[in-house]
Structure 1
């Protein structure tokens, strides 16, 4: 240890606490957080002030960026050239700043996060709006402080006329806190500030929202939902959901999603590459191609869809898995009197106005002093104008300038300053014309002096000036809002049902397991005995087996022949035209190769607890076994399906029907026999059970072909419709089928002759319903139930559809007279 020095013991824990607090406050105040008054961090302020000192204004020529960086670095900001240049770049990038403060020339990067060119290649100058931030800085409007080496002075804040923190926002990460302030539209912001002034500073946040609608991002996009906006307006904290702006186009015969605007701060190339990765990983299978067609005229990203893909469902996936939807977490923290504070939207307006009042007071004091000094000089001029000859004689007789000054002070009762100003007068100022100008200037300055004193002492005069200057800013720089607001959005809980119309559709399933969804409007009604329309081109050795009429928002429960249950939303089924082939069910659900979907149940709601507890699923197997289970047990399906029924050997699940527990059950055999019994005769059991006998097959190789369940209260309002394999059908009265116990052999319902063919379908129908019949060849006919005659049980019926070339009926579906709710 050197002589004279001494060691002072310090507790290391206390020293670390103290040092860390000093470091964190230095970061918070000197780097990370903006000042609430001008909305700038020190480095941004120094860049603008450095350009001001170099006279690089909007009307000046561009100067090399390296020159400005050197100026700022050498005089004000000793933290490295990269930090200064990066700041300049961000202030010039149109997709980062809503109202850029720097006009850049050269390569300043791109939306793809391409780096800017080196500072020796790029050039910059101020934007016109930046000059409004530095206006009146030479009039002692703000405090100055010494720079890092105490050789120069720099402003602690800029005397900005624009509410920069509101219109450009800010972001930064300090120690233990962060700020993230979104940009807003200048026109809306100024209108809100003016309304706040007019309300005598009492405008509520609820009324401010009427002027400033929401953030306005430079890249546009859509703010989805409004609760996040309200939250941060009120508290300074909130979460915004931002979506890309898109539209649907048809390009070369394929539907395409075209992106016109992407969310704020999203890297375009990263978003596209991640989307391609999702396609390769199989998370998004509906996309055929992704293309970036952006150019200097604007952004354009094209998502080309595969055939028969629903754009709304795909768009929902893109919002969920890609940056087409992002979140902006608002946290308004700024420095107020040197301390970090959480602020709401009203606080930002209030603090900006406090700053403008302070600037105007200081500017007025400066101008008033200049005005008073000039009036004082002019008063001296006016005193000697009437005695010019005497004044000139005194000056001529003086020994020197000091002697002349003293004589003028004594003889004309002037101040030293007035005397020196008179001695500095040119002779041309003594002409009569110039004398008149002096008098006019004096009178004008007296008026100006009165006005400036009013500004100082009257609050209302200052607010009028602030408002007038703001309206001038609005006139010069305002533009239209770029970011749209979707008030109906549900705050990020993506509800695909909001995007898809709940219209009636036709679901067709082939024998080989191909499924598709088609709008019901594509099938026009025909008369009985027609030939039908082409429904689809069946694959080789395949034919159409099932036909269902549903609505888009319903759930479709799928039951396999081995007794497993899966479920889908109807809108998740691939859409196709009448002639398309559909998509394999195995590609939609996780179905084993040796299993096959045999039965389908349409359910209105699987989330309503009351609904699922009041409904049951009634099942029947090929051998006549029936089973009833509460719908509640099927409301939580798993990826690999759940057990619905235990199937015995040589049997398979054939049909499933949704009931309310008080229905009459009709089970039909292909031999043409039907049994009718009360659903109450079948006790509800769990999913892992066998069931009980519903009907007895009395003929060898006979089997169940269908089952219907009709509620007790409506059973007499309709008819029992039966359809045979060869296209014959008829309606019969319900009373023709007596109510018996389950397990019987049933009664005859149709003569199954060679001409008629075996029974293939039974339906409960009403007069106003329609019927859709599909052939194995894919031909579909839609006919009115009222066209089919009511006949007795023991008849063969009438021809419903003409069959050719050994064709046969594949399935029959009923169309309800109104959309299912």
Structure 2
């Protein structure tokens, strides 16, 4: 154990700088702790590492660690905006080998995103080659692409050479990397950020550089300004996405988002009516929401057109080049406002951006940030004070360099009048060390003479600097350096809480103003996303976008459903092996169809939403959320041409409607209920029409008018024939009334409503005999009894249903 402990301490000393996992392993080896406590501790350490070292950006430079390391590596390679492009593989390799040992794919993905103009409002990398597209195309391999930094990236890296920010050892302690870049650009808001950590996430939208800078200046003028005052026309108006689009939030909604640091941005694409011709109108889409795949959007629109769900549009064509252009060819009588309303509802042409202004804020330890959700003012405030700390450090470094130079120049000035004596001492000396010792003895520092540093500078002085003119240059330089040092000392001694008079805040203000002047002239940096509150949304009616045509919908016993324009013979339709047709209904594509399940739930959808297929169709579970063991037992078309009027008579609310439904359960209960409440499309979970006891199930549902005769058959060869009027009509879901009293081992197999036909139903016994149940042989009785005995011995194996015929489709 002692040897293991020694090895542990050695490994720990080598990896102390980067928090090696050896500490975790050794603790587990040397101590005994509960598994729950160890797992909790390790997971907390892991989550903190993900939060601070990968997923969340820093409020100061707005960068994640991988982005920061990429830019720092490129600055070391000299890849500024005027340099020649260099292979991305070289940059990625250096980043991975020196600072970010997490695989080249993640590094290259981050580099590619920083070069995409549709991902960042102001890209930090200038890429050469294929860096992907808004259509979702992947970037070429890093061995084929090249990169360098953009001018705005130079502003992010400004003052880095003078070490104005803290540095920390890299993962193996072989070199140093900056904790944060001394960015002059409020990059967190300008380019935004998206990241998912452990237990938290961030989603910061991009903004316009000029507006953010104006907000910074506004905050400097009035530090007590409120969050809502920063959301104004002369400051931050709202997000500004690189793909443009239209933001429909109200000013109050935006102010609430920027005050709390969270909320929803309502973003939609923009379009305009371009031309009108004999063939129709053209609606041109010139902007799409941020983060939307353009090719997927066009594919979705064409899918809706070809499926008949978008009849107002003939075709969608993608004519985009560098700018987005999607032409929608409309029909002559199409209303473009209705077309836009449909696009907003059924495609990604309108999308929500969920704002979450979570980032890392500085703590007492400069190497570790703390995650926090901030408001707009807090983000700007942190950035301004970060710029103050960078400027202060820059001035302190400059002052230290000036003082070192002044000290040397003062030594030169001191010996100007004794140059001949200095030269004589040097000529008589045995070397540099002997000369330095003799000069310092002649001009001792204790009496205002020379120290070792000044003496070394004098000995290194070139002979031509002893000329008269050169001596004057040195004296002039000394004067200028002393003047500049006094200016810096004054700046460093001013009150940083005085935002209007402080010299350092004046410098920061001028730097922000220069950013506005340098980068606001470019047309690409103008506001792209319009902020327009929609006063009135166009009225949307789903029926207006459905082609009215007749169709058949077929359901199988195993729950497969499909729609066809016409089915001549349902019994010959294609079904899966072992499956068979349950029912086939007809109606218009604009009407609804109800699917009734064994647990007493009705699922309603428009017929146009049933998948069209000439094959097996699709499982009904794709349309609705059925429970385990639940199955469809019946389907009813709500087309008024197929079913009679189902609305209740307002003059006689106590009476049931003319056409309604009757359901029978396997435990002998029956109920009648209205269909009006089920005619409208439902959610995926459906609406309940019956309350079925545990162990029982609905066996069938059929449309009745109340004048029919009902025949229910049980497994023990009993049949109940009664009038439909005896079954109570319920206004809501219920268990119903007893239709037939069953023995403990019996159950209802099915039922059929009839208008008085003599031959009602044919059944087959377990002995293979077929029996036809007829009103000529069995009399109609009251409900609630045991019914008629069909056969003394044996069981009914199944009900033989007649072949399912395709229902007739009525013309308008």
| Structure-2-length-normalised TM-score | 0.61
> Whole-Å Cα distance in 2 between the matches of residues 88 and 319 of structure 1?
33
> CA 1:153 to 1:246, structure 2 compared with 1: closer, same or farther past 3 Å?
same
Per the alignment, do residues 272 and 439 of structure 1 end up closer, same or farther by CA in structure 2, a change over 3 Å counting?
Answer: same
Give the one of 354, 358, 372 matched to 2:403.
372
Kindly state the Cα deviation for residue 594 of structure 1 after the two structures are TM-superposed: 7.1
Unaligned 5+ residue runs, structure 1? Answer: 500-511, 514-588, 598-615, 620-634, 642-646, 650-686, 688-821
Alpha-carbon distance between aligned partners in 2 of 1:345 and 1:636, rounded to the nearest angstrom: 49
User: Which residue is equivalent to 2:264?
Assistant: 239
Report deviation, 1:272.
1.3
Map of 2:318 onto structure 1: 292
Q: CA shift at 1:307, angstroms?
A: 3.2
Aligned residue number for residue 370 of structure 2: 339
Q: Are 2:242 and 1:218 aligned?
A: yes
For 1:466, which of 483, 495, 508 is the aligned residue? 508
Q: CA deviation at 1:102?
A: 0.3
The answer as to whether partners of 1:382 and 1:439 remain within 8 angstroms in 2 is yes
1:435 CA displacement:
1.2
Question: What residue number does 1:707 align with?
Answer: none
Find the aligned partners of 2:109 and 2:272 in 1 and give their Cα distance.
35
Matched, 1:306 2:331: yes
In the alignment, is residue 414 of structure 1 matched against residue 437 of structure 2? Answer: no
Larger CA deviation: 12-21 vs 225-234: 225-234
Q: d(CA) in 2 for partners of 1:56 and 1:373?
A: 32
Q: What corresponds to 2:71 in structure 1?
A: 48
In structure 2, the CA distance between the partners of 1:406 and 1:475, relative to structure 1 (3 Å rule), is same
CA distance in 2, matches of 1:202, 1:340: 25
SS in 2 for 1:387: helix
Give the equivalent residue in structure 2 for 1:266. Answer: 292
The counterpart of 2:526, out of the listed 475, 480, 485, is: 480
Q: 2:85 aligns with which of 53, 58, 62?
A: 62
Work out the CA distance in 1 between the residues paired with 2:346 and 2:160. 50
What are the equivalent positions in structure 2 for 1:156-555 lying under 5 Å apart?
156-199=179-222, 201-210=223-232, 211-226=235-250, 227-252=252-277, 253-296=279-322, 298-337=323-362, 338-412=369-443, 413-458=449-494, 459=496, 460-478=502-520, 479-488=525-534, 495-497=537-539
CA apart distance, 1:285: 2.5
* Residues 1:368 and 1:256: Cα distance change in structure 2 (over 3 Å): same
Cα separation, 2, equivalents of 1:74 and 1:640: 59
Aligned partner of residue 161 in structure 2, secondary structure = helix
Distance 1:113 1:417 in 2: 63
Quote the residue 1:532 is aligned against.
none
1:765-787 CA-partner distances (Å, limit 9, x unpaired): xxxxxxxxxxxxxxxxxxxxxxx
What are the residue-to-residue correspondences of 1:795-810 with 2, within 5 Å?
none
Q: Contact 1:591 / 1:640 at 8 angstroms: preserved in 2?
A: no
Deviation at 1:4, TM superposition (A): 7.3
The answer to whether 1:101 aligns with 2:120 is no
Aligned pairs for 1:410-809 (under 5 A) are: 410-412=441-443, 413-458=449-494, 459=496, 460-478=502-520, 479-488=525-534, 495-497=537-539, 591-593=639-641, 639=680
Instruction: Write out per-residue CA displacement over residues 783-807 of structure 1, whole angstroms, 9 at most, x where no aligned residue.
Output: xxxxxxxxxxxxxxxxxxxxxxxxx
Partner of residue 539, structure 1: none
The alpha carbon displacement at 1:203 in A equals 2.1
Relative to structure 2, which stretch is displaced further, 253-262 or 481-490? 481-490
8 Å contact kept, 1:225–1:489: no
Q: CA deviation at 1:286?
A: 1.9
- For residues 15 and 4 of structure 1, the distance between their equivalents in structure 2, rounded to whole angstroms, comes to 21
Q: How far is 1:379 from its partner? A: 0.7
- Offset at residue 231 of structure 1 (A): 2.0
Q: How many residues align?
A: 526
Do the aligned partners of residues 4 and 480 (structure 1) sit closer, same or farther apart at CA in structure 2, a change above 3 Å counting? closer
Q: CA deviation at 1:591?
A: 5.0
Other structure's SS at 1:291 match: strand
Q: Does structure 2 conserve the Cα–Cα contact (< 8 Å) formed by 1:391 and 1:408?
A: yes
Cα deviation, 1:522-580, whole Å, max 9, x if unaligned, reads xxxxxxxxxxxxxxxxxxxxxxxxxxxxxxxxxxxxxxxxxxxxxxxxxxxxxxxxxxx
1:638 to partner: Cα distance: 5.2
1:36-71 CA distances to partner (integer Å, 9 max, x unpaired)?
Answer: 100001000000000011111111100000000111
Quote the offset at 1:242 in angstroms.
Answer: 0.4
Task: Report SS of the residue matched to 2:199.
Answer: coil
Q: With structure 1 as the length reference, what TM-score do the two structures score?
A: 0.60
For the aligned residues, what is the CA RMSD?
3.3
In structure 1, how many angstroms separate the alpha carbons of the residues matched to 2:374 and 2:409? 50
Q: Which runs of 5+ in 2 are unaligned?
A: 6-28, 363-368, 444-448, 497-501, 542-547, 550-636, 653-675, 683-704, 708-730, 732-812
Shift in Å at residue 590 of structure 1? 7.1
Report if aligned partners of 1:590, 1:640 keep a CA contact under 8 Å in 2. no
Work out whether residues 341 and 540 of structure 2, in 8 Å CA contact, stay in contact via their aligned partners in 1: no
In the alignment, is the contact (CA less than 8 A) between 2:638 and 2:679 conserved in 1?
Answer: no
